């Protein structure tokens, strides 16, 4: 009898989701669907609001990565104003964005994924959580807190206050950086670099135990997309879009923000609130591409900072041309923390960062604007349309987790086919199905535009759709 297995809710990710595994007559996985079960609708909320409110409004989309929305939103507003913001303002935005990478990646690696990665996928689920990590690896866990705290502090210091910070604004930032604050940030960098270097070495040693996961976790050829700068380095704040294929060949390059819709379209499915962006020249659903840390490391030719470059070269040796296994999102995340810390230091070491000219002023000069930046989970696109009075008439947000939707679904199918056997269900098998989703670090609150916790469900259904088994976690 054909059956269906449903994981609901998926744990240790942000938002609500479930996974349905369709089994065939032989009890083998035939199909898999990753459902996002929450709906937000922020795009509709924006209509009629002054575009100048958009950065602070958009920052409320997510409690984990508000800065990412600040960046893309501000850039879209810059485009509406048709201004080129002062270089110092762009660099100050970069520092805040990179601090966001440090805190977000630290949360993903140390708090959400380390139980799987350091305690083992088959560890007792009662211990395979952050409290198990604290017991076995207290130093690593404390270091995770310190790294995240550092990122959060830099954001708070730059933002000026915790309640409704409005430092990043259309046209730049509203306050220059003080010498005292610059020095306060800089003095913490060596300790943070020491933490991440140690963690990276520890993680690389642990990879030996994950050959099978590396081989089966969303490991397939696909396109990869990210921003790159003119030197083919990381461009987390700005740059132009590049797509490479599964062999590393560039298939589209130099794509300006306002050209994104020539390359990306979105499909919808009735069983999920999360849309399916796809690479338009290939079409849906074959135009599958991935974004985020793995994609960024795959599209660049070097990182742009010394330690990260060394790590990147070693990382890229894991693949031929590009690294295809999504298990290596974790590894890529750690390298991006190294880069972020180094880059913050490089920016702050330049005396020009203390320049006082940090904002351009203008009204509405374009009725449409697109802002693209790299968020921790991948490329974030904000596309606004306004009327002559500067009131929003339309907003379209394409969130990193959405870009990865096709890849996450295919990854779940690949893992389920490899690990799940209906005849002998084991918790560790199901954990791997969840873990492949966690590798992408999806942020479903962002991508579907509900307040609440991520929950995850696995259901087993027969050919007639009847649930014959179910695991649910809250």
Judged by CB under 8 A, which of 29, 32, 57, 70 binds other proteins? 57
**Residues, the chain, total?**
474
Instruction: Please state the closest distance from residue 131 (CB atom) to other proteins, in A.
Output: 5
388 contact partners, CB below 8 Å, separation of at least 6:
364, 367
473 binds other proteins, rule: CB under 8 A: yes
Q: What's the half-sphere exposure (Cβ side, CA atoms, 13 Å) at 339?
A: 29
49 binds other proteins, rule: CB under 8 A: no
Judged by CB under 8 A, which of 11, 20, 88, 272 binds other proteins? 11
CA distance 73 to 171: 11
CA distance 66 to 165: 11
52 binds other proteins, rule: CB under 8 A: no
CA distance 310 to 44: 45
User: Residues 398, 266: contact at Cβ < 8 Å?
Assistant: yes
Judged by CB under 8 A, which of 24, 27, 28, 45 binds other proteins? 45
2 binds other proteins, rule: CB under 8 A: no
Residue 253, SS3 per DSSP: strand
Tokens standing for residue 187: 């003095």
Judged by CB under 8 A, which of 12, 75, 105, 275 binds other proteins? 12
Tokens standing for residue 96: 């805040």
CA distance 155 to 291: 24
Burial environment of residue 365 by CB neighbours within 10 A (0 to 12, 13 to 18, 19 or more): exposed
Instruction: Please state the closest distance from residue 106 (CB atom) to other proteins, in A.
Output: 8
455 binds other proteins, rule: CB under 8 A: yes
Residue 240, SS3 per DSSP: strand
Judged by CB under 8 A, which of 81, 85, 112, 413 binds other proteins? 112
Judged by CB under 8 A, which of 314, 453, 463, 467 binds other proteins? 453
Contacts with other proteins: how many residues (CB under 8 A)?
Answer: 46
For other proteins, which is the closer residue by CB, 62 or 252?
62
128 binds other proteins, rule: CB under 8 A: yes
User: Residues 380, 67: contact at Cβ < 8 Å?
Assistant: no
13 binds other proteins, rule: CB under 8 A: yes
Which residues in 137-196 contact other proteins (CB under 8 A)?
Answer: 138, 141-142, 144-146, 148-149, 152, 161-163
Residues that bind other proteins (CB under 8 A): 9, 11-14, 41, 45, 57, 60, 62-64, 103, 107, 110-112, 115, 125-126, 128-131, 134-135, 138, 141-142, 144-146, 148-149, 152, 161-163, 431, 451, 453-456, 473-474
């Amino acid at each position: 009898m054909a059956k269906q297995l449903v994981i609901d809710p998926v744990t240790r990710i942000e938002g609500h989701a479930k996974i349905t595994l369709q089994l065939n007559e032989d009890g083998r996985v035939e199909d898999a669907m990753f459902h996002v079960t929450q709906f937000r609708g922020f795009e509709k909320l924006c209509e009629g609001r002054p575009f100048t409110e958009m950065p602070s409004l958009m920052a409320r989309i997510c409690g984990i990565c508000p800065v990412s929305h600040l960046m893309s939103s501000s850039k879209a507003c810059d485009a509406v104003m048709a201004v080129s913001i002062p270089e110092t303002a762009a660099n100050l935005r970069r520092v805040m964005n990179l601090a966001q990478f440090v805190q977000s990646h630290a949360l993903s690696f140390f708090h959400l994924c380390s139980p799987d990665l350091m305690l083992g996928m088959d560890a007792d689920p009662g211990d395979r959580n952050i409290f198990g990590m604290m017991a076995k690896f207290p130093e690593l866990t404390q270091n995770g807190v310190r790294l995240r705290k550092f990122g959060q502090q830099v954001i708070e210091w730059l933002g000026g206050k915790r309640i409704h910070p409005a430092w990043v604004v259309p046209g730049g930032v509203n306050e220059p950086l003080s010498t005292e604050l610059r020095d306060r940030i800089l003095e913490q960098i060596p300790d943070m670099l020491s933490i991440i270097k140690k963690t990276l070495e520890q993680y690389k040693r642990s990879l030996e135990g994950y050959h099978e996961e590396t081989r089966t976790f969303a490991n397939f050829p696909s396109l990869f997309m990210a921003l790159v700068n003119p030197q083919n380095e990381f461009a987390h704040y700005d740059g132009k879009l590049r797509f490479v294929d599964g062999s590393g060949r560039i298939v589209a390059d130099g794509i300006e923000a306002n050209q994104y819709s020539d390359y990306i379209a979105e499909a919808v499915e009735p069983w999920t609130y999360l849309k399916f962006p796809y690479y338009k020249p290939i079409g849906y659903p074959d135009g599958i591409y991935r974004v985020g840390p793995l994609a960024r490391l795959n599209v660049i030719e070097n990182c742009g900072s010394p330690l990260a470059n060394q790590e990147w070269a070693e990382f890229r040796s894991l693949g031929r041309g590009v690294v295809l296994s999504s298990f290596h999102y974790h590894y890529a995340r750690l390298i991006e923390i190294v880069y972020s810390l180094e880059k913050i230091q490089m920016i702050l070491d330049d005396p020009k960062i203390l320049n006082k000219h940090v904002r351009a002023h203008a009204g509405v000069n374009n009725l449409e604007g697109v802002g693209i930046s790299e968020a921790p989970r991948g490329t974030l696109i904000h596309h606004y349309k306004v009327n002559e009075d500067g009131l929003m008439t339309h907003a379209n947000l394409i969130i990193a987790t959405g870009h990865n939707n096709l890849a996450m679904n295919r990854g779940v199918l690949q893992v389920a086919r490899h690990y799940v056997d209906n005849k002998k269900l084991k918790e560790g098998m199901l954990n791997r199905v969840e873990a492949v989703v966690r590798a992408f670090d999806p942020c479903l609150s962002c991508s579907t535009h509900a307040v609440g916790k991520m929950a995850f469900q696995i259901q087993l259904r027969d050919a007639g759709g009847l649930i014959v088994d179910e695991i649910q976690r809250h």
